[in-house]
Amino acid sequence: MRQSYLEQMRPKATHQKVLALRKQCGLDFFKKYSSQFVSSFCPACDNDGPVVLEKFGFEHKKCGKCNTTWCSQRPTEELLTEYYSNWEATKYWTQLLVETDVNRKMLQYNPRVLSLVNLLKKDSAFSPKKAVDLGAGSGAFALSLKEATFFDEVIAVDLNLECHEVCKKNGLSSIQGSIEDLEQNSVDFLTMNDMIEHLFDPKKFLKQCHAALTTGGYLSIACPNGEGFDFKIMKDQTVNLTPPEHLNYFNPFSIELLLESVGFESVSITTPGMLDTQIVTREVLENQLDLSHDQYLEHLLLNTDEATVANFQEFLKQNCLSSHMLVFAKKI
C-alpha cells in the first residue's frame, strides 16, 4: 500500500529502464560533447560556488549565496536540442508519460489545477481568457486545465512533434514550438511543469514568459526543490539528478530571487510533493541506498506503520521540505 502511489506514477519496470537509459545516454553524451560545454554561474543569482558533486561526468556547483545547485559545465542550447531530438532516453521518457497519463492526471494534475484556480479566483481583477501550458508533453496537464472550464481557451505548447500530435489527438489546441511563438501580452496564465530544470538559461526564458503575459497575468512553475528531502538524503543518487536533462535545482528562496529579478511577484511557494518517502524507501529496498548512518530515518521509513510515514510526508509538505516545488507568481 505504501508503494501504490509511486507505482502508479512511476511503474517500477518502466522507470528502471528510463534511469538506465539516462545513465548510459548521460555518460555517452558527456564523452562525445564535453569539450564543447560552456561554463555557467548560478542560474538564480549569477553568483558562484564550489563543486559539490559529479554525475555522469557532469560537475555540479552549489551557490554560496542562494543554495541553488546547478550543472556548471553545461551543453550549449544547440547541443541540448540535439540531445532531446536524437537520444533514446528522452524518447523513452515521453513514452512513460503517455503510459501514465491517466494516473498522473487524476492523482497529481487535477488537484493541482483545482488549487491554482482557487488562487486565481482570489484576484477579482484577473481575466481568465487564455491559459498556455509550456512544455506540455502529452497534454495531460493542459487537459486538466481545459476540463476545469475556468479559461476561455487552453493551448498546449511543446517543441516535440510527437507530443504535439498526441495533444491534438486528445482534443487540445496545440502549437509545436516554445515561448518564442507566443505574442507579447497575449496570455493570462502560463504554466510550466517539470521544465525549468531543463533550461540552458532559465532567466532568459522567464523574461520571455513575462513579456508574453498580460499585465496582472500569472505564472505557475512546478519543478524539483534542490533543498528537498530526497536531494538531502540521496545526494547524487537521487533520480532527480539526471544531466544533461536536468541542469538547474532551485529552492524556495532562490526561485523567488530569480522571479523577482525578471519582474514577477511571488504569491505562493509550496512543496506539495507526495512521493519523497516512497522514493527513498524504494531506493533503500531495491537499489541498496545505505541509510545505516541515519538509523532513526531508516527505522522511520522501514519499520513504522503507514500512518506514521504519511504523517512524516505531510510534515515535509507543510515545511517546504519536499523535493517537489510549486511556484505561483504574478507579473508586475
**What is the reported pLDDT for 102?**
83
Give the pLDDT confidence of 37-55 residue by residue, as tens digits: 999 999 999 999 999 999 9
With cut-offs at 50, 70 and 90, classify the pLDDT of residue 1. very low
**What is the reported pLDDT for 3?**
45
Q: Which residue did the predictor score with more confidence, 259 or 287?
A: 259
Mean pLDDT of the chain: 93
**What is the reported pLDDT for 4?**
62
- Nearest alpha carbon to residue 322 among 266, 274, 289, 280: 274
Give the pLDDT confidence of 209-234 residue by residue, as tens digits: 999 999 999 999 999 999 999 999 99
Alpha-carbon span 309 to 278, nearest angstrom: 9
* Burial call 183-205: b when 16+ CB within 10 Å, e when fewer: eeeebbbbbbbbbbbbbbebbeb
pLDDT at 206 exceeding the cut of 90: yes
For the segment 264-270, the average pLDDT, to the nearest whole number, is 97
Percent of the chain's residues with pLDDT above 90:
79
With cut-offs at 50, 70 and 90, classify the pLDDT of residue 2. very low
For the record, the C-alpha cell of 217 comes out as 497575468
Alpha-carbon span 190 to 167, nearest angstrom: 17
For the segment 133-144, the average pLDDT, to the nearest whole number, is 94
Give the pLDDT confidence of 149-165 residue by residue, as tens digits: 999 999 999 988 888 99
For the segment 188-198, the average pLDDT, to the nearest whole number, is 97
What are the boundaries of each domain within the chain?
4-99+194-331
pLDDT at 287 exceeding the cut of 80: no
